[in-house]
Structure 1
Amino acid sequence: MWIRWPRQLGDVVFALPFFGSLQAAWNAEAAALGVTLRWVAVGHAIGAALFSEAAPEFIAESVIESGGQGKPDPWHLLRRWRKAPPVCVINLSQSIRLALAAWMARVPIRGGISDNRLSLLYTHPFKYRDLPVHLAQRYEPLLELLTGQHHLQWVRLGRHNLGGAQGPELLRAAGWTGEPYVTLAFGTRGHVKRWFPEMGTWPELARLLSAEGFRCVWLGGPDEVALGKEIAALAPGSLDLTGKTSLPEACAIQEAAAGTVAIDTGLAHTAAATGRPTITLMGHSPEPLIAPVGPMAVAIRGSAVDSYPGESEGFETHGSVAHRVHPVRVVGLLKALMAEARS
């Protein structure tokens, strides 16, 4: 069973309830027939990399696409599939190349997004774009086509299925000695999602969390190393792991944290998917469509307009409304979620 995942990390996490529900249903049917299914993830270096250390029964193999500009190499897949044809290829992106390769390989079950007029290449097409429901719920019609069920079941991420065993070791090597900690994910390529002024908000949040007895751990990708170093320098006692972990390792660190504070970025979605308390500071993206999914996840934003004079003076907000959320509010909401988690 080959699953082509979306490009962005948040979208990958949104597809997990569909995948988990499909996997549970089909694994049960296969077991009744005395058959074992092998699940293979294929996708971009950001998306499929989430499964690079996964447990074999969850994802047996993670194939990073090697075509031009990180796109699928259909000829490589076609050659491989002709030698060992899969039973099913499901395309959760709008990749024309992958859909074409599956069609040419005569894969018997081919599911995929029909918005880009690729319905003829699929046995099970479904509409995905521009629907007035959360992105995770948009996979319900495909689940019903493939299993007869339409109820999506949340999938908890952690070391039991994603791996990331070295995450806690990296944390200890950075100076963690076992005290409760909170992970902070500050970075993204989308400026309109960021929490400005960053040299004020994040260090103040770290100071408040430290006063509550929590160690602060900064997480982020390679593109965010410079910003992470700058922010961490203003938060004495915090631990900077920006750019030093794989995605599964970062997720393992989030799973063991007391909670996470993040802007609307991929690590907000992985944190929510671990089931731990997660506060996401929203920029311009609408929560009903893209808010992180999890039992302890809360998305917040500031007022739609400046609420007092001088609020935005002295820095560029890039259109974000996250700057209208004060660190005191974030700490208060996070503590409330932590209390609920303990109960």
Structure 2
Amino acid sequence: MGQVKPGHERLRELLPAFEQPEVWIRFPRQLGDVIFSIPFFFALQRSWNAVAEAQGKKIRWVAVGHAIGAAIFSEAHPDFIAESVIEAGRDQKPDPWALVARWRTRPPVAFVNLSQSARLAFAAWLARVPIRAGDTDNHLGFLYHHTFTYRDLPIHIVRRYEPLLAQLTGSSRLEWTPMRPAQFGGQGGFELLRQAGWKGGPYVTLSFGTRGYNKRWFPELPQWTGFARLAQAAGLEVVWLGGPDEVELGGQLAAQVSGSLNLTGRTSIPQACAIQSEAWGNVAVDTGLAHTAAGTGRPTLTVNGASPEELINPLGPFALSVRGPCIDAGESRTTGLKVELDSTAFRVSPLRVWNLLQGLVAEHDGGRKLPAELPEALRERA
């Protein structure tokens, strides 16, 4: 293809021909992977918005993605994401011909593919979108001007975007920015919280659900309810968060913890994220809501059973993962769980999670007074 100009330089040349420049970004399929792309996205927006503003233009940003992943943008402020094109249904694919028709009438100035979507890559190529960038793991690098490799690298997923960012902006520097309701929306989550019985006091969110069986905090009922009772004893309200797949377990957990607030299956992803953004603290297993919680900047503790932290640890200034020892140690209780789980989460006690979360909150708040001291009897039960 020869020498290709950096994306921001090419953008500067192209903008005069665009009355309303659009940049389309196809995000990954899973929520956690989408959250890992946010620092790249923020950096790209800052760079390209500045280029546009220098010419008196305003870029219209469009997010494309799966119903799980890109749903985080579905309620976003229009200055952040003007449109969120969600692929309805778990297995539905985008219609490339519809996009080609739209793009030929009103072509975007750029298309950035952060997934392995071949359909959208071909659509952008057919529509002759002038700046095309994407992941080459599907061997479609010939469709792009700028490429990067995403899969199977021995570095954290967030940093895998650095080479692409350098090509598009001239700098590979990624900076974390908090995921706040002002950009992502979700303010309706607080009304749902009030309807569930929240009186406005401090609360902790518990995100217990995941499709990855070996990522769960077994045995789930005593582990999660044990932590919930510790939080309640310290004066915190307990909020259960999860998706439609977790409704049954959420109901069981809430039923065992009197007074807890069950929003499982009742919030959109932006609403759950907004609720997490105002929590005293957040606890989760390795699931999408662990990454949204950490992304808000609030103290977040992830009980990690099988996933490699060095590659997928939730990103945030007050995010911490904890896992148990690889074998029974000390006075570890016998749980009867099968070793085939390939997980150590069951060796993490609710009290350990509580103590670590308190430490994160103390660091976040500069040593501000923590909730009330736990009764000794409750500490012993935990």
* TM-score, normalization by structure 1: 0.97
2:95 aligns with 73
Structure 1 residues not aligned, in runs of 5+: none
- Residues 295-315 of structure 1: CA distance to partner in whole angstroms, max 9, x if unpaired? 010011111122258745334
1:167 to 189, 202, 217: 189
1:338 aligns with 2:338: no
Structure 2 SS opposite 1:143: helix
Q: Are the aligned partners of 1:219 and 1:241 in contact in 2 as well (CA < 8 Å)? A: yes
Distance 1:53 1:18 in 2: 20
Distance 2:258 2:219 in 1: 18
- Tell me by how many angstroms 1:88 deviates: 0.5
Larger Rg: 2
Distance 1:149 1:28 in 2: 14
- Name the stretch that deviates more: 71-80 or 128-137: 71-80
Query: 1:43-82 alignment to 2 at 5 Å?
Result: 43-66=65-88, 69-82=91-104
- Tell me by how many angstroms 1:73 deviates: 1.7
Closer/same/farther in 2, CA of residues 224 and 68 from structure 1, 3 Å limit: closer
- Tell me by how many angstroms 1:319 deviates: 2.6
- Tell me by how many angstroms 1:66 deviates: 4.8
Distance 1:316 1:216 in 2: 30
Q: Are the aligned partners of 1:7 and 1:47 in contact in 2 as well (CA < 8 Å)? A: yes
Distance 1:283 1:30 in 2: 45
Distance 1:130 1:197 in 2: 31
1:323 aligns with 2:346: yes
Distance 2:351 2:62 in 1: 44
Query: 1:180-195 alignment to 2 at 5 Å?
Result: 180-195=202-217
Query: 1:15-164 alignment to 2 at 5 Å?
Result: 15-66=37-88, 69-164=91-186
Report how many aligned residue pairs link the two structures. Answer: 343
- Residues 56-97 of structure 1: CA distance to partner in whole angstroms, max 9, x if unpaired? 111110001259922222112111111110000000001111
Q: Are the aligned partners of 1:164 and 1:249 in contact in 2 as well (CA < 8 Å)? A: yes
1:287 to 294, 306, 309: 309
Distance 1:50 1:132 in 2: 27
- Residues 187-242 of structure 1: CA distance to partner in whole angstroms, max 9, x if unpaired? 01100100000011000000111111111100000010001001111111110000
Distance 1:310 1:179 in 2: 35
Q: Are the aligned partners of 2:67 and 2:90 in contact in 1 as well (CA < 8 Å)? A: no
Structure 2 residues not aligned, in runs of 5+: 1-22, 367-382
RMSD (Å), alpha carbons: 1.4
Distance 1:304 1:21 in 2: 39
Q: Are the aligned partners of 1:182 and 1:216 in contact in 2 as well (CA < 8 Å)? A: yes
Which residue identity does 2:104 align to in structure 1? R
Q: Are the aligned partners of 2:276 and 2:293 in contact in 1 as well (CA < 8 Å)? A: yes
Which residue identity does 1:198 align to in structure 2? E
Which residue identity does 2:163 align to in structure 1? P
Distance 2:124 2:156 in 1: 28
* TM-score, normalization by structure 2: 0.88
Which residue identity does 1:281 align to in structure 2? V
Distance 2:290 2:301 in 1: 8
Distance 2:88 2:252 in 1: 34
Query: 1:191-340 alignment to 2 at 5 Å?
Result: 191-307=213-329, 311-316=333-338, 318-340=341-363
Distance 1:299 1:73 in 2: 39
Distance 1:312 1:86 in 2: 59
Closer/same/farther in 2, CA of residues 111 and 312 from structure 1, 3 Å limit: farther
Which residue identity does 2:276 align to in structure 1? Q
Distance 2:222 2:160 in 1: 38
Q: Are the aligned partners of 1:66 and 1:73 in contact in 2 as well (CA < 8 Å)? A: no
Structure 2 SS opposite 1:160: helix
Closer/same/farther in 2, CA of residues 137 and 184 from structure 1, 3 Å limit: same
